[in-house]
Chains A and B, each alone.
Chain A
């Protein structure tokens, strides 16, 4: 009577047999090369976001009219054959006719660049006061001499601003998505678990929200924020605005999955052995759609980031002195200015890279998450 087809299980089979669903997902995910790359890039961006001040060279708000629109400097790694990274000093003067500033490089004046240099004062994680930065200059203030990506109109260091903007934009996405998840999971869950009239109402609400063009609405709501609000208030209000409309997709995913799982026999089986609803939901249902939620979240994050970027770009989202990719790009609205100093377009790069990375990651997670695909 015993099934002996699996009696001769090899070691490999044994390993798979006792693998939990989570391990199986991880194994499947690992096969997804692009998703792995995406994951690493996303982690890198959050690393940059966390260590913003440490990675910056200059105070992102330090402005100086004397050095506006300075082009990026190139770093020279060798000095007469020996390893000694340095940049050349830059002198600026104003063209008396066009009134534009022209910058000339002075190859004789070398400014050494070194790791773990001291620079402006900041608090690591907002707690530990320090002035150590990953990269810095020696003998002169970085604010005056080191412009890896050039400067903007106010003469602020674009490299440092980009690093800080990464923090803002990555976390505003996270905050918005967190709120969306709460709304999506709660409303989608209610809709899927109870069904009936509640479901009908929530479904109609989702359909309506999905058929409204969101950007004009976002713009309208964002513009209605009082001018006197502080950066933090605007930040919070913006995440709320973004998530009020952004939860629908998550809500749909959660509901669909919930309904599907509810129909599975093992849920009925759990009910029939006397499990209470709470155990059924948390032990049987949630673990099954958790991976789907993670995947959906990963795909929702870039949408939030784009939304913030576009609103701030239009001047309706975050406002200076807040630094985000959107506020930085605001300066690039003027084509003439961009044509003269193309480095103003640099923030476009991280936006595209991070969205691409999130999409790869999310796709990989979604493909790996399906437990019945064996």
Chain B
């Protein structure tokens, strides 16, 4: 069991490292170092302290050093909690991101919860009532869910909301709470606004999970232990719920591993379409403005979040599956 946790942790750390390298690459990729970019910008704005500022940046990030030294300087800063300055906003990156990261998480987790809550019963139903009208309906809906990219779904819903209800269905807060401090009322308002993004984001995953659950359960229903349980005298309903569904839950739970990165990914584009106050629109703006520290930080933070989410799902899986718990 410990070896399993250790393995997952090691892999998580590895992934974080890989993401940090990629994030650094993103910061580094634009031509010229960012001090030069900044220098040009400041000089164009007629700022006399430009040269001084550029020199300070060069020294702080060791820009005249070899690239791997630069990487270690940068990652050293990041570990100490210094994510750098956003040139576009002219404020520390941490300030700019603010509670947007938290909101990103909230949206992603809401999507996952929606996915689970919907996919589990439908998957079980489709497997148990295979080839019924309901099964065919859900299968067809599932295909649609897979086929509609979530940002297009968001776009269509935005349009419908606007054309039919003449209301803006985007955003996470009503206007009166947008800049209000956190309170119970604001959290409640957030919850009300969460449904739409959760549905939009969870659609693809739900379709995938229904298919996974259906296929798993169909496999499990053929297993001898189902016959054993029936032969014991269990009623069909109790038997299905207690044995095959329980066993089919394991691969279902492990699907978070791929679902979570997918939802976090999707949340970026969907947030932009639905103008949610998450890191999505911020990332897009920073990339358009070549505000590389901000962009790099967001990519890194999203990566770390995903790794944490995946780790949690691994632990859940371990709790669910005794075969993993007892593995040497």
| Touch between chains A and B, by CB atoms below 8 Å | yes
Residues of A within 8 A of B (CB): 204, 207-208, 210-217, 219-221, 223-224, 226, 302, 306, 309-310, 313-316, 329, 332-333, 335-336, 338-339, 342, 345, 348, 351-352, 355-356, 359-360
Q: Mark B130-168, 1 if CB is under 8 A from A, else 0.
A: 000000000000011011110110011011001100001
Contacts of A226 in B (CB 8 A): 30-31
Complex contact A345–B156 (CB within 8 A): yes
Q: How far is the CA of A316 from the CA of B272 in the complex (A)?
A: 13
The residue from A216, A309, A342, A345 contacting B265, defined by CB atoms under 8 A apart: A216
Which one of B14, B147, B284 has the highest number of Cβ atoms from chain A below 10 Å of its Cβ? B147
Q: How far is the CA of A355 from the CA of B146 in the complex (A)?
A: 8
Complex contact B272–A215 (CB within 8 A): no
Q: How far is the CA of A220 from the CA of B290 in the complex (A)?
A: 10
Q: How far is the CA of A214 from the CA of B257 in the complex (A)?
A: 14
User: Is B273 part of the contact surface with A, judged by Cβ < 8 Å?
Assistant: yes
- Given that A213-B303, A217-B299, A359-B143 are known contacts, is A207 also in contact with B269, CB under 8 Å in the complex? no
Q: How far is the CA of A213 from the CA of B159 in the complex (A)?
A: 28
Complex contact B273–A213 (CB within 8 A): no
Q: How far is the CA of A50 from the CA of B146 in the complex (A)?
A: 27
User: Is B306 part of the contact surface with A, judged by Cβ < 8 Å?
Assistant: yes
Contacts of B258 in A (CB 8 A): 210-211
Complex contact A213–B306 (CB within 8 A): yes
Least distance between A348 CB and chain B CB atoms (Å): 5
User: Is B62 part of the contact surface with A, judged by Cβ < 8 Å?
Assistant: no
Complex contact B29–A348 (CB within 8 A): no
Nearest A residue to B140, CB-CB? A34
* Size class of the contact patch on chain B: 35 or more
Contacts of A315 in B (CB 8 A): 288
Complex contact B143–A360 (CB within 8 A): yes
9 closest A-B pairs by beta carbon, nearest first, are: A224-B29, A223-B287, A220-B26, A215-B265, A356-B147, A355-B147, A213-B265, A213-B264, A306-B149
Q: How far is the CA of A332 from the CA of B29 in the complex (A)?
A: 30
User: Is B268 part of the contact surface with A, judged by Cβ < 8 Å?
Assistant: yes
Which one of B31, B262, B265 has the highest number of Cβ atoms from chain A below 10 Å of its Cβ? B265
Least distance between B293 CB and chain A CB atoms (Å): 12
Q: How far is the CA of A215 from the CA of B290 in the complex (A)?
A: 17
User: Is B283 part of the contact surface with A, judged by Cβ < 8 Å?
Assistant: yes
Least distance between A230 CB and chain B CB atoms (Å): 16
Q: Restricting to B59-97, which residues have a CB under 8 Å from any CB of A?
A: none
Q: How far is the CA of A207 from the CA of B15 in the complex (A)?
A: 9
Q: How far is the CA of A313 from the CA of B268 in the complex (A)?
A: 13
Complex contact B162–A220 (CB within 8 A): no
Contacts of B15 in A (CB 8 A): 207-208, 211-212
Complex contact A210–B261 (CB within 8 A): yes
Complex contact B148–A352 (CB within 8 A): yes
Complex contact A310–B151 (CB within 8 A): yes
Complex contact A342–B306 (CB within 8 A): no
Q: Mark B207-227, 1 if CB is under 8 A from A, else 0.
A: 000000000000000000000
Least distance between A85 CB and chain B CB atoms (Å): 31
The residue from A204, A219, A339 contacting B283, defined by CB atoms under 8 A apart: A219
Contacts of A217 in B (CB 8 A): 22, 26, 299
Q: How far is the CA of A335 from the CA of B284 in the complex (A)?
A: 18
Complex contact A220–B146 (CB within 8 A): no
Complex contact A215–B143 (CB within 8 A): no
Contacts of B149 in A (CB 8 A): 306, 309-310, 351, 355
